[in-house]
């Protein structure tokens, strides 16, 4: 009976369901009574007490941090080494090196996340499933079926294979294929990190733990994470050893896999394999994969290989967005277990959080991917020097995330930190829009600090408006969709930034310089220009200064675009309401114990009797 009660809590009352599905019309008037009954509501909605934070808990946190090292280093370090890689492989499709990784990490999020969880419908009331249709990202669906640890290990294995392929690449197309495989593994790893934290840490404390993991990813596991990745990438590229940028992932993957296998033991309710497969929304996943891929192809070709008005750009762009629209309609009406949490976005606070997460992802990816190229093209920086030159941004994102998380934990307020974060993002990007090839490195550093702090605050704070309006039992699908949007934003940041730079270079590069690179794609040699960034320092005067000025003007347009996105983010943030933060976690997915193992077996028996009713 105890096991059954754990797997099947009482149905949610209509009053409680309305409280978590829809926000109060007067948050200031309802905040105190909401806080007063917060613990009772969490318990009624499937909440349980957070796990004891003993040494095993911290070993799990360390394993997650090392997994984050893999994805953080790959994104930032490859950007620094890209000009050298493009030169050696004689490839002009350099944008795809970043886009393929981000595409791979995004498109299968709807699939990999649902392999880890099986009974989210058990721990959710019948009324919520029937009346709200309980949409779920397939990423969460895969997590719900096979358990967290199995999918995390699968993601690490795929990432390892992709890293080996990238290291062995003999052509740009070979490298792009390897980066796609890498991205598939990275998507699983990223989604699992967020969902496992949600399993172990209540929302009120989660911002601090996300910040802790970000810091650990910088200073643990061979000291290569998101902050030092550009330096590592630059050092290897500068000495002609860029392949080790990928081979170094292999021992890190081995350490991460061992820690995950040993310590990451979470509850996994059992269910027959056939039922597991039936719950995967195969058609919905196919639609979103093909639609996302079509959009990325259009964004990558636009303004580089083909003009924006070309049918080769317009057709995949229109087809992609039409596919996304059709996907939402399909998910809302057809599948028994849909993968996109449409009902979870009915709250305007959650919708605001998702949108801010998307905008912040674009700002982050654009800055991380193109700032090293700015220093190499405009400041004669070597790859390793470019990695050091962006310390103002790269070394402030994680600490500011931790500080923001602690502030939110202390005061239970997330709106004010996000307003502040967007304000300094706007200020920093606008100031960077005035920087040129002659601006001092000290000024560059100071402006970067503003951007890094703002991005870091928004990076961790965006979780709260997404999760505060929903029951704790819905955290997994909400987080899976959250990560999907963030990764989708990374694609936009890389491709839009590249399109702006290349279009501006086509207008501002000196004709003498363009004449050296005959174009067969209509881009007037601007695409090839990135291949010669390492050679700019050796150009004769006055051509050298003219090329540096052209790059500076191109990047100014990029930074001004980020300021505009920051303004949109701030505008959207005003739609958030002040809601109380959960103090409990989903008891169905805590750390595995002897008692929980027995309860999970019993839950599996009940699941086979009634796979939908909760």
Specify whether 199 is located in the same domain as 224.
yes
Cα separation, 436 vs 554, in Å, equals 10
CB neighbour list of residue 12: distance below 8 Å, 6 or more residues apart: 20, 44, 45, 124, 125, 127, 128, 471
Specify whether 301 is located in the same domain as 186.
no
Percent of the chain with pLDDT over 70: 65
Specify whether 264 is located in the same domain as 297.
no
In a domain, 539, yes or no: yes
Q: What is the pLDDT of residue 120?
A: 38
Specify whether 342 is located in the same domain as 486.
yes
For the residues of 11-52, what is the DSSP string, one character each?
PPPHHHHHHHHS--S-HHHHHHHHHHTHHHHHHHTTEEPPPP
In a domain, 24, yes or no: no
Of 358, 349, 298, which Cα lies nearest the Cα of 323? Answer: 298
Specify whether 238 is located in the same domain as 161.
yes
Given a cut of 70, is residue 517 above it in pLDDT? no
Q: What is the pLDDT of residue 506?
A: 77
Given a cut of 80, is residue 504 above it in pLDDT? yes
Specify whether 550 is located in the same domain as 402.
yes
- Alpha carbon of residue 584 to chain centroid: 25
pLDDT average, residue stretch 310-337: 87
Highest mean pLDDT among 112-126, 329-343, 413-427, 495-509: 413-427
pLDDT digits (tens, 9 = 90+) for 184-232: 888 888 878 877 887 777 766 766 666 666 665 544 433 344 444 555 5
Q: What is the pLDDT of residue 31?
A: 34
Q: What is the pLDDT of residue 308?
A: 76
Percent of the chain with pLDDT over 90: 18
pLDDT digits (tens, 9 = 90+) for 19-44: 433 443 333 333 333 333 333 444 44
Of 97-106, 369-378, 493-502, 583-592, which range is least confident? 583-592
Cα separation, 363 vs 360, in Å, equals 5
Residue 541: domain span: 52-281+335-608
Specify whether 323 is located in the same domain as 387.
no
Given a cut of 60, is residue 177 above it in pLDDT? yes
Token digits of residue 253: 């993957």
Cα separation, 238 vs 384, in Å, equals 7
Q: What is the pLDDT of residue 292?
A: 83
Specify whether 464 is located in the same domain as 347.
yes
The DSSP output letter for 10 is P
Give the H or E element holding residue 586.
strand 585-586
Cα separation, 594 vs 135, in Å, equals 32
In a domain, 17, yes or no: no
Q: What is the pLDDT of residue 159?
A: 93
Specify whether 172 is located in the same domain as 317.
no
Specify whether 266 is located in the same domain as 228.
yes
Confidence bin at 113 (pLDDT 50/70/90): low
Which pairing describes strands 47-48 and 585-586: parallel, antiparallel, or unpaired? antiparallel
Q: What is the pLDDT of residue 207?
A: 62
C-beta of residue 498 within 8 angstroms of C-beta of residue 366: no
The DSSP output letter for 334 is S
C-beta of residue 51 within 8 angstroms of C-beta of residue 61: no
What number of other Cβ atoms are within 10 A of residue 39's Cβ? 14
C-beta of residue 367 within 8 angstroms of C-beta of residue 451: yes
The DSSP output letter for 581 is P
Specify whether 323 is located in the same domain as 416.
no
114 pairs with which residues across the strands? 142
Last residue of a domain, one of 312, 334, 356: 334
Cα separation, 464 vs 581, in Å, equals 8
Of 332-341, 365-374, 401-410, 598-607, which range is least confident? 598-607
Token digits of residue 418: 């996000």
Token digits of residue 155: 């993601």
pLDDT digits (tens, 9 = 90+) for 260-310: 888 877 666 566 666 666 777 788 888 888 888 898 888 777 766 777 788
In a domain, 41, yes or no: no
| Domain count across the chain | 2
Specify whether 347 is located in the same domain as 288.
no
Cα separation, 284 vs 328, in Å, equals 9
pLDDT average, residue stretch 332-339: 76
Given a cut of 60, is residue 452 above it in pLDDT? yes
CA atoms within 13 A on the CB side of 434: 7
């Amino acid at each position: 009976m105890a096991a059954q009660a754990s797997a099947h809590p009482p149905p949610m009352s209509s009053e409680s369901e309305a409280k978590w599905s829809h926000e109060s019309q007067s948050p200031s008037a309802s905040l105190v009574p909401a806080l007063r009954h917060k613990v009772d509501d969490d318990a009624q909605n499937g909440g349980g007490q957070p796990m004891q934070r003993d040494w095993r808990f911290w070993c799990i946190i360390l394993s997650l941090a090392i997994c984050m090292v893999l994805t953080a280093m790959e994104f930032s370090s490859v950007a620094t080494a890209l000009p050298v890689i493009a030169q050696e492989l004689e490839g002009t499709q350099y944008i795809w090196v970043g886009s393929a990784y981000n595409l791979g990490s995004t498109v299968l999020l709807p699939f990999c996340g649902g392999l880890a969880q099986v009974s989210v419908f058990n721990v959710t009331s019948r009324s919520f499933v029937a009346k709200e249709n309980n949409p779920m990202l397939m990423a969460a669906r895969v997590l719900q079926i096979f358990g967290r640890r199995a999918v995390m290990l699968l993601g690490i294995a795929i990432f390892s294979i992709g890293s080996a392929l990238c290291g062995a690449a003999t052509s740009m197309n070979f490298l792009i294929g390897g980066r796609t495989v890498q991205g598939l593994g990275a998507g699983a790893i990223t989604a699992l990190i967020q969902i496992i934290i949600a399993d172990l840490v209540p929302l009120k404390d989660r911002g601090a733990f996300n910040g802790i993991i970000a810091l650990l990813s910088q200073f643990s596991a061979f000291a290569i994470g998101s902050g030092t990745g550009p330096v590592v990438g630059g050092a290897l590229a500068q000495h002609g050893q860029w392949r080790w940028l990928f081979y170094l992932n292999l021992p890190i993957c081995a350490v991460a896999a061992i820690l995950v296998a040993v310590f990451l033991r979470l509850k996994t309710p059992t269910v027959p394999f056939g039922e597991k497969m039936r719950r995967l929304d195969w058609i919905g996943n196919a639609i979103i994969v093909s639609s996302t891929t079509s959009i990325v192809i259009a964004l990558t070709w636009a303004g580089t290989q083909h003009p924006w008005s070309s049918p080769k750009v317009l057709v995949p762009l229109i087809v992609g967005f039409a596919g996304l629209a059709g996907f939402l309609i399909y998910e809302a009406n057809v599948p028994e277990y849909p993968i996109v949490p449409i009902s979870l976005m009915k709250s305007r606070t959650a919708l605001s959080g998702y949108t801010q997460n998307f905008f912040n992802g674009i700002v982050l990816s654009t800055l991380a991917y193109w700032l090293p190229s700015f220093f190499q093209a405009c400041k004669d920086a070597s790859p390793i020097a470019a990695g050091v030159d962006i310390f103002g941004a790269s070394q402030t994102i994680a600490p500011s995330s931790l500080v923001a998380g602690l502030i939110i934990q202390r005061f239970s307020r997330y709106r004010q930190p996000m307003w502040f974060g967007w304000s300094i993002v706007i200020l920093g990007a606008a100031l960077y829009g005035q920087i040129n090839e002659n601006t001092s490195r000290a000024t560059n550093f100071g402006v970067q600090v503003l951007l890094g702090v703002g991005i870091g605050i928004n990076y961790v704070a965006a979780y709260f408006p997404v999760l505060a309006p929903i029951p704790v039992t819905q955290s997994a699908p909400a987080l899976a969709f959250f990560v999907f949007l963030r990764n989708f934003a990374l694609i936009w940041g890389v491709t839009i930034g590249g399109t702006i730079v290349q279009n501006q270079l086509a207008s501002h590069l000196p004709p003498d310089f363009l004449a050296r690179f005959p174009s067969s794609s209509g881009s007037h040699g601007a695409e090839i220009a990135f291949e010669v960034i390492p050679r700019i320092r050796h150009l004769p005067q006055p051509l050298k200064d003219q090329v540096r000025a052209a790059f500076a003007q191109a990047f100014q347009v990029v930074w001004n675009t980020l300021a505009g996105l920051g303004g949109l983010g701030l505008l959207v943030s005003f739609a958030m309401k002040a809601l109380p933060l959960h103090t409990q976690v989903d008891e169905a997915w805590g750390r595995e114990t002897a008692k929980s193992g027995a309860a999970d077996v019993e839950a599996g028996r009940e699941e086979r009797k009634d796979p939908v009713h909760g």
